[in-house]
């Protein structure tokens, strides 16, 4: 959808006063779906339904919950396709409910759990103040930047890092499938969290080795120590504003730049540039906001950044400008999903 003219992709509008009223009221209560999803994740409802469908009372007994209230929650979520009630009153898993399972191959339970925590709710409640003043809602509520607050709370830090790993896991394979890593032998995953992308890259490319770089508290819980990657990885504590391991063929920046304002993005990119050899490549993986009025993950993520971080979603042109300012030239862009386009860049002559 990148580059579509606004008039070419319009969202359908309700055709009657009643429909307008219904849709606007539904939108105004959207936070209830977030709360319901958080509750379903917190109580591991999808795990309890993994083997067989159950009635709300059966599920309540298994999970230690109130049966009538649980029924109302499940019925509500079923209106959006998360769980399904059959004629016998039993609730089933659905494709939208499967990722809420803890043991799902692409589980998003941790992500849904954390996005329902007060640090996100309370920040979203102050979005209006951020829009009025141009400040970050989270900092208005908590008085410190988001990452400083996270670092000071070990339990929240672990939960947040786990949630980002879940989000990353769901997208990393798409990046590996879209980009040809055949011509590269070494990679540095910059601010790579627990290393989900690097693990996917190394698994799909046995000829490669890689280094994960992030804060010490983050890399301590890395996911690289698996048998098939033995001897092919390093996990190093570091600061991408200061320095990075030098001389690798490929530097990866996945879902990093959207968390920071332009001036900090340029600092991160220049750190990458200093570490890169002349033949090196940089891959920036982020949503690219398209033109037009259609829903898009990049637009949603942009508002999330506005509430909790001093970052922002960006268009392709805006990423190209950032990269040029830091001394890079964009060579191509690969669309893998609405959450993760791959922008390839080289050091400018």
pLDDT in tens, 43-88: 999 999 999 999 999 999 999 999 999 999 999 999 999 999 999 9
Strand partners, 186: 209
Strand boundaries in 115-238, DSSP class E: 186-190, 209-214, 233-237
pLDDT tens track for 8-35:
445 677 778 899 999 999 999 999 999 9
pLDDT tens track for 178-195: 999 999 999 999 999 999
Lowest mean per-residue pLDDT among 132-146, 163-177, 313-327: 163-177
Q: State pLDDT tens for residues 87-126.
A: 999 999 999 999 999 998 889 999 999 999 999 999 999 9
Q: What is the pLDDT of residue 10?
A: 55
Residue-level pLDDT at 11? 63
Residue 328, phi-psi category: left (phi > 0), alpha (psi -120 to 50), beta (remainder):
beta
Long-range contacts of 323-327 (CB under 8 A, 24+ apart): 323/269, 323/282, 323/284, 324/348, 325/266, 325/269, 326/265, 326/266, 326/269, 326/270, 326/272, 326/273, 327/269, 327/270, 327/273
Alpha carbons 174 and 165: distance in angstroms, whole number? 15
Whether 151 shows a pLDDT value over 60: the answer reads yes
**pLDDT of 266 higher than 70:** yes
pLDDT of 96 reads: 96
In this model, does residue 135 exceed pLDDT 50?
yes
Query: Over 60: is that where the pLDDT of 1 sits?
Result: no
Rg (CA), the chain: 22
Q: Vertex 191, ends 189 and 192: CA angle to 5°?
A: 55
> Rounded distance, CA 232 to CA 151, Å?
29
For position 6, what pLDDT does the model report? 40
Instruction: Return the closest-CA partner of residue 42 out of 153, 105, 117.
Output: 117
Rounded to an integer, what distance in angstroms lies between the CA atom of residue 219 and that of residue 161?
10
5 pLDDT above the threshold of 70? no
pLDDT at 4 over 70: no
Q: Where are the beta strands (DSSP E) in 194-327?
A: 209-214, 233-237, 250-254, 281-286
Rounded mean pLDDT, 247-267:
96
Q: Specify the pLDDT at position 336.
A: 87
């Amino acid at each position: 959808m990148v580059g579509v003219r606004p008039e070419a992709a319009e969202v359908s509008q309700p055709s009657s006063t009643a429909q307008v009223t219904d849709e606007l009221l539904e939108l105004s209560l959207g936070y209830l779906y977030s709360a319901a999803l958080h509750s379903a994740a917190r109580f591991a409802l999808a795990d309890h339904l993994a083997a067989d469908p159950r009635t709300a009372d059966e599920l309540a007994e298994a999970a230690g919950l109130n049966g009538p209230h649980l029924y109302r929650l499940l019925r509500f979520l079923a209106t959006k396709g998360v769980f399904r009630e059959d004629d016998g009153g039993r609730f089933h898993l659905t494709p939208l409910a499967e990722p809420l399972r803890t043991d799902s191959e692409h589980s998003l339970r941790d992500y849904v759990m954390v996005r329902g925590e007060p640090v996100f709710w309370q920040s979203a409640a102050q979005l209006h103040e951020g829009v009025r003043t141009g400040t970050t809602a989270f900092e208005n509520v908590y008085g410190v930047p988001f990452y400083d607050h996270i670092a000071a709370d070990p339990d929240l830090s672990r939960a947040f890092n786990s949630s980002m790993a879940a989000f990353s896991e769901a997208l990393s394979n798409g990046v590996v499938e879209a980009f040809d890593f055949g011509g590269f032998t070494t990679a540095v995953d910059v601010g790579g969290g627990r290393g989900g992308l690097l693990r996917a890259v190394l698994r799909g490319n046995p000829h490669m080795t890689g280094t994960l770089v992030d804060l010490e508290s983050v890399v301590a819980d890395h996911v690289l120590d698996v048998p098939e990657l033995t001897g092919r990885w390093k996990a190093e504590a570091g600061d991408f504003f200061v320095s990075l391991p030098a001389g690798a063929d490929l530097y990866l920046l996945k879902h990093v730049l959207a968390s920071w304002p332009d001036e900090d993005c340029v600092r991160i990119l220049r750190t990458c540039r200093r570490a890169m050899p002349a033949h090196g490549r940089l891959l920036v993986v982020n949503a690219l906001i398209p033109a037009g009025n259609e829903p898009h993950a990049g637009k949603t993520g942009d508002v999330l950044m506005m509430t909790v971080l001093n970052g922002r979603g960006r268009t392709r042109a805006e990423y190209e400008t950032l990269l040029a300012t830091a001394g890079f030239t964009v060579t191509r862009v690969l669309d893998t999903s609405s959450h993760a386009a791959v922008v390839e860049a080289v050091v400018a002559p």
